[in-house]
Amino acid sequence: MRFDPPRQGLEAGESIIWTRREGTGGKVIVSGFLFFMISPVVMVWTYNLYGMSMVGAVAFLLFIIFIAIAVGFIRERRTRYYLTTDRIIEARGGILVKEVPLDHFAGVPLSQFLEAKVTHQVNHRPIYTIRVYDPVTDDVFELQGLDGSSWRAFERIGQTSECPYCEYNNIGISSKCKNCGATL
């Protein structure tokens, strides 16, 4: 399914609360750094040990490794996360990859289904990986490379706001009541 807000992909009455592009993961950064540092050494070592007969095969293998690292980097840069009034979404290149409806968390404390872990720091600011466990499907939704404001947006899912008109308990990020449609 195509997901490219605001033009297409949003359901009627749904609005975006928060969105972020996936950060470049440590695995891609470290493997890219190691590749560019070690591959020339490997090529020289291969030439000295085996001569030109093996250099072509090793160069081909290094090329395959480079392609794998580049594909991982491109995949991460094309991934975007959305938190809407109705669901959590992962889209890659404008295509919907995964979604979890927020209705799955109705009536249960979100803290038991949400886990945030600081993976590293950039400019003395923590970078989070957030895992959301879907209580209905038992799937794990993992969002990587997010900042502190992202974590705060997800914490709001677990809060509720009562509708002043019909007293329905809505998810904390809702701008309209799911029961009567009143503005909260």
Tens of pLDDT, residue by residue over 52-79, are 989 999 999 999 999 999 998 888 888 8
70 with 139, same domain? no
- pLDDT tens by residue, 125-169: 898 888 989 888 888 988 888 888 888 887 777 677 788 899 888
pLDDT in the model for residue 41: 95
Q: How far apart are the first and last CA of the chain?
A: 31
Please say whether the beta carbons of 100 and 144 come within 8 A: no
Report the amino acid identity of residue 40: P
Please say whether the beta carbons of 153 and 17 come within 8 A: yes
3-class SS of residue 4: strand
Residues whose CB falls within 8 Å of the CB of residue 134, separated by 6 or more in sequence, listed in order: 100, 104, 113, 140, 141
58 with 94, same domain? no
Residue 30 lies in a domain: yes
The yes-or-no verdict on residue 25 having pLDDT over 80 is no
Residue 145 lies in a domain: yes
Residue 45 lies in a domain: yes
pLDDT in the model for residue 22: 81
62 with 86, same domain? no
What's the domain count of the chain?
2
Domain that holds residue 59: 26-76
What is the model's pTM? 0.70
